[in-house]
Amino acid sequence: MAIEINAEDGYPGTSIYTKGTTIPGVILITQNLPKGIDTEPFKPYHIRDDRSPYVIEVDAKVEDVGLRLVGLARMRTESAASQLVLFDQFGLEGLSGWVRHSDRVFQCRFKVHAAPGVLAEVSDALVFTRQFQWPPARH
């Protein structure tokens, strides 16, 4: 699997990131992240003022099963925060946010991108995982 960045016009960066690559300078709105993702270690802050949503800034590393959000250690004694967002938690629309590139910030959507040779559409696979629990519950 890979991550595809659907960005606003003029984005000059890479649009497909494969396993093992890192997407630097990702900004995500905390309320759009899946439930269970602990954002406190990433030091969330308001975009503009107290009424604007909280965001986190991370580098995002593409792994086998998801996107690892990695924060930067603020001091040498701190370790970098890390959380894994599984691909099936992205939903059909993906994760909305921004990506930094060459001192500019581009609004974008991070979507799961099927690797070459995958027969099923990624969106179909996501719908399947959301509608059915496997293995089925035993009664």
The pLDDT tens digits for 44-85 are: 988 888 888 899 999 999 998 889 999 865 544 456 788 899
Could you state, in order of their start, the residue ranges of all structural domains in the chain? 2-131
94 φψ region: left (φ > 0), alpha (ψ -120 to 50), beta (else): left
Among 43-57, 98-112, 121-135, the least confident range = 121-135
Mean pLDDT of the chain: 76
Q: Is the pLDDT score of 137 beyond 90?
A: no
Is residue 25 a contact partner of residue 127, using CB atoms and an 8 Å limit? no
Distance CA 43, CA 39 (A): 7
pLDDT of residue 127: 36
Asked if pLDDT for residue 88 goes beyond 70, the answer is yes
pLDDT score recorded for residue 13: 79
Radius of gyration of the chain (CA): 16
Q: For residue 52, which of 34, 26, 25, 30 has the smallest C-alpha distance?
A: 30
